[in-house]
Amino acid sequence: MHNLHLIVNYILFCMLNYIELFMKHSAELLKNKTNENIKHLNINSCIFCQSENIEKFAAKMAPFIKDRVGAEDMLFNLVHCKNCGAAFYDYRYSQNEVNKIYTNYRGEEYQKNRQKYESWYSKEINMLIGNDQNKFPAEIQT
C-alpha cells in the first residue's frame, strides 16, 4: 500500500507540474488578446512544441468545474500533439472563472463538492495531492 501512495503522489505531482506549465503558456498566448471574453482559441499547432501534427477530440467541461464556475454546458476540443504528446484544451477560462475554481482550492468545501461529482475524490485523495510521504496525515499512512 505504501508503494501505491508513492505512485499516486508521483502521478499527481507530474500532473500538477504539467498544469502549471500549461497555465503559464496559456497566459502567454492570451496576453496580447484585446477581447477579455475570448474563450476558444483557434489552435492549429501545439502550444508547447509548435508542431502542426495535432488531433482534436470533442470534450465537455467536467461537471464539477461547470458547477464551481456556474457555466453552461458547452463543447470544446481536447487537442493532442502527436509530436511531443502534450494534451490541452482550446478553451480558456476567464479570470473570474479561474478565481472561482481556485478559491479555497483543496479545502474541505472543495473536496466535498468535487466528491459529489467524482465519488473517488475522497478526503484522503485530496490530502495526498501535493504531499510527499513524510507529510501524509497519520490516518492514511501505511
Share of the chain above pLDDT 70, in %: 63
Residue 128 burial (CB count, 10 A):
19
Per DSSP (E only), the strands in the chain are: 54-60, 75-81, 87-89
Phi (first) and psi of residue 38, to 5 degrees: -65, 125
Mean pLDDT for the chain? Answer: 76
| pTM summary value | 0.57
Buried b (16+ CB within 10 A) or exposed e, 85-115: ebebbbbbbeeebeeeeeeeeeeeebbeebb
Q: Look at residue 26 and tell me whether its pLDDT is greater than 70.
A: no
- Could you tell me the three cell numbers for 133? 510521504
